[in-house]
Structure 1
Amino acid sequence: MKLKLMLAAATIVGFATSAGAQTVGDWVLGDYKGAGYWFPGVVEKVGNGTVTIRYDDGERETVGLSAIRPYDWMIGTRVQCNFKGQGNWYPGKITSLSGEKLGIAYDDGDKETTKTGRCRSN
């Protein structure tokens, strides 16, 4: 019986930490449409091994727990952003952040203040 309880506890801990967030309202990064890029969003619903995310750009998606991870962007994090909303993604670093506002220093020397909904990470 003790072994069964230990295995059950290990399974629960592994499940709870695999995505890093299991609560409605948590800010997470989701692998939108399985493309391999992590986009920020907020958990809207949790259930049956899935999470529904409302991404910061307004899109919604229900994904498995392996397709989310904790929101971990901070100053110095490498990201790609849609420069001035023109549709092209450019690499850079976060230089400031305040909620959904990010300061970005692009690798080509340009700088911009943008929103998280226009950025992604690998």
Structure 2
Amino acid sequence: MKNVLSIIMAASFLASGASAALAQTKGDWVLGNYKGAGYWFPGVIEKIGGGSVTIRYDDGDRETVASSAVRPYDWMIGMKVECNYKGAGDWYPGKITALAGEKIGIAYDDGDKESTRTGRCRTQ
């Protein structure tokens, strides 16, 4: 009965449109809204406790946020992202063409292509 209740609660949570990660454990790859700026960056949960999680972002930054401010990592081929082209500091829109761990292939909207790291990319 306990498992049925958990499934019903999870289904209700998903139906409500909530986007926080359901299962958060140390080592989960997630998306965090770094400094609440409205962009979602990939990272790994380092620590959990007291309703918050500490994320080590793929670019090396760390941040502790409320558990509700974390989304499951859902990037896939064909998804729109913005990436920091060649690490120059500006963000450009494109689509994911390849994924292999923290390596990501991007086809930018302007026709350029790049193989980079997930730590140089973000979503809205």
Question: Paired residue for 1:86?
Answer: 88
CA positional deviation for 1:20? 3.2
Question: Paired residue for 1:66?
Answer: 68
> Over alpha carbons, which structure has the higher Rg?
1
Match of 2:34 among 27, 32, 35: 32
CA positional deviation for 1:39? 0.1
**Structure 1: gaps spanning 5 or more residues:** 1-5
Quick one: percent identity of the two aligned structures?
Answer: 71
**Secondary structure of residue in 2 paired with 1:28:** strand
**Structure 2: gaps spanning 5 or more residues:** 14-18
Match of 2:98 among 96, 99, 112: 96
CA contact (8 A) 1:24 1:45 kept: yes
CA contact (8 A) 1:53 1:60 kept: yes
CA positional deviation for 1:67? 1.4
The count of aligned residue pairs is: 112
